[in-house]
Amino acid sequence: MSARAAGPFVPLNCAAIAAELIESELFGHVRGAYTGAQQSREGLFYYARGGTLFLDEISELPLAAQAKLLRVLEERRLRPVGSEQEIPVDVRVIAATNRDLKAEVAAQRFRHDLYYRLQVVEVTLPPLRDRPEDLPPLVAHFIAQLAPFLGVPAVQPDKRTLARMAAYDWPGNVRELRNFVERSLILGWFDFGPEPVVGAAVGTADESLEAVEKRHILAVLGACEGNKSEAARRLGVSRKTLDRKCQAWSD
Pair 40, 32: CB distance under 8 Å: no
152 or 106, greater pLDDT = 106
pLDDT digits (tens, 9 = 90+) for 219-249: 778 777 788 888 887 777 788 888 888 888 7
Mean pLDDT of all residues in 137-141: 96
Give the total residue count for the chain: 251
Could you give the CA distance from residue 180 to residue 155 in angstroms, rounded to a whole number? 13
Hey, what long-range contacts does 16-25 have (CB within 8 A, 24 or more apart)?
16/57, 19/62, 19/65, 22/61, 22/62, 22/65, 23/64, 23/65, 23/68, 23/81, 24/81
What pLDDT does residue 198 have?
38
Section 158-168 average pLDDT:
87
Alpha-carbon 172 to chain mean position: 11
Strand 77-78 to strand 87-88: parallel, antiparallel, or no bridges (unpaired)?
antiparallel
In the predicted structure, residue 195 carries a pLDDT above the cut 70: no
Q: Which domains does the chain have, with CATH numbers?
A: 9-118 (3.40.50.300), 128-250 (1.10.8.60)
Residue-wise pLDDT for 98-114, tens only, equals: 889 999 999 999 999 99
* Mean pLDDT computed over 58-62: 92
**pLDDT at residue 202 tops 60:** no
pLDDT band per the 50, 70, 90 thresholds, residue 196:
very low
Q: Is the pLDDT of residue 171 over 90?
A: no
Strands (E), 51-129: 52-56, 77-78, 87-88, 92-95
Q: What is the mean pLDDT of the chain?
A: 84
Among 81, 183, 181, CA closest to 137: 181
C-alpha closest to that of 33 among 101, 79, 102: 79
Q: What percent of the chain has pLDDT over 70?
A: 90
